[in-house]
Amino acid sequence: MKILLIDKFHNVFGGAERAYFDTANVLKSNGHEVAFFSMQHVNNEKTKWSKYFVENVDLRNKNYSVFKKISVAFRIIWNFEAQKKLNALLDEFNPDVVHMHLIYHQLSPSIIWTLKKRKIPMIMTLHDFKHVSPNYNMLVRGKIWEKSPWQCVGDRCVKDSVSKSIICTFEHYFHKFIKTFEKVDVYIAPSKFLAKKYKEKGFKKDILHVPQPLNKNFFKPCEVENLNENYPKNYVLYFGRLSYEKGLDVLIKAFSKSNAQNLVFVGKGDQREILEKLAKDLKIEKKVHFVGYKSGKELRSWICNAKVTVMASACYENMPYALLEALASGVMVIAADMGGMPERIIDGKNGFLYNPKDANDLVRKINKAIVTNKSTISRNAKLSVEDLTYSKYYDNLMRVYNKAIEQSK
């Protein structure tokens, strides 16, 4: 089978891109032919299909001219370049199915119309709430935001900006009016929560629950290595993007009141300086350590040596890789009791859940976790994700792809 995978980033920017590349690896290892469609970027993985990638657009660039900003705003609604280049790629590759991940803004939903015109079966993995809300993570100024889309502008629901909120609100209603997202044959989601929330918001298409797989290396025994003597001891760990929706300010404040000795952040992001300042203001800067981005064996070492990992997300998480990787490694996890995370965490059995509306509950759970014998919880943690294998994911994908092929007829 020939499968075209689409995501606006062709580098590991976040969880959606991890899923995008994992899907490619699973398909290739089972003998399928895979092509990619994305946006140009200096950090992209190499592929012969990059000749069809669209022009790089940095939506955070404040130095764009007024004309460029207007052009970018229009591309968010409808991207003619993406349609033209996608058509050229389709002429060469002629896929049996197309599997989309994140497409909005840099590619735009206009590509769905291109695929529909050519009668190519379409699958889309939902990673956020963009189809049902102008605000993709339903988080506004640190608070959950689930109001009607028309209230977005008044609430400045996108990046606290009136102009960006206007553009995204118009984009939402425009594609809803022309029924763009109804053209996709099959939707899948890594968590049941996301599918349920879509239905609550009136989304008409069925959504199948298909969990993302984990690399087999995370199922290997977690060997606790002796870290450099200068590294922190007995630490609480967060690993992932340092971004505001992850609730990392809440984690630092809770840590400052807990009995834990050290807090380690593994990852990079635009919140690092803000978090470092917060730690300094709380006079705990010597106990809070930022070690930067890590991957592979080095990341696994940080996970395996942790007393406990914490997922203090302020938004509705779908099903974050960090949660699943920690569980597969047999490390205790403390997670906010919201979004998709409670689907994997049973409080006190394979980890701990805390009430995100009670700041002191996270303090209590940290104190409890660092003195808890982890042997039983570690075993249960591993068992709770043993279904997330590449082989099972592949079987699920084939069922989904065949269903899309049938429905597209």
Domain of 35, CATH number, reads 3.40.50.2000
Residues of the chain whose pLDDT is less than 70? Answer: 223-230
Residues 18, 9, 266: CA angle, nearest 5 degrees:
50
Whether residues 116 and 262 share a domain: the answer is no
Q: What is the number of other CB atoms lying within 10 angstroms of the CB of residue 108? A: 25
Main-chain dihedrals φ then ψ at residue 377, nearest 5 degrees? -60, -40
Does residue 334 sit in helix, strand or coil? strand
**What's the pLDDT score for residue 225?**
56
Whether residues 224 and 115 share a domain: the answer is no
- Which residue range(s) make up the domain with 289? 216-383
Whether residues 197 and 53 share a domain: the answer is yes
**What's the pLDDT score for residue 227?**
57
Whether residues 403 and 376 share a domain: the answer is no
Whether residues 276 and 287 share a domain: the answer is yes
**What's the pLDDT score for residue 226?**
55
Give me 234's structure tokens.
């007995």
Whether residues 320 and 173 share a domain: the answer is no
Whether residues 226 and 332 share a domain: the answer is yes
Q: How many domains does the chain have?
A: 2
Whether residues 208 and 166 share a domain: the answer is yes
What does 68-119 look like in DSSP terms, one character per residue? Answer: HHHHHHHHHH--HHHHHHHHHHHHHH--SEEEE---TTTT-THHHHHHHHTT
Q: Are 407 and 120 in contact (CB under 8 A)?
A: no
Whether residues 67 and 160 share a domain: the answer is yes
**What's the pLDDT score for residue 112?**
98
Whether residues 242 and 287 share a domain: the answer is yes
Whether residues 396 and 371 share a domain: the answer is no
Q: Are 189 and 126 in contact (CB under 8 A)?
A: yes
Whether residues 366 and 400 share a domain: the answer is no
Label residue 65 exposed, middle or buried (CB < 10 Å: 0-12, 13-18, 19+): exposed
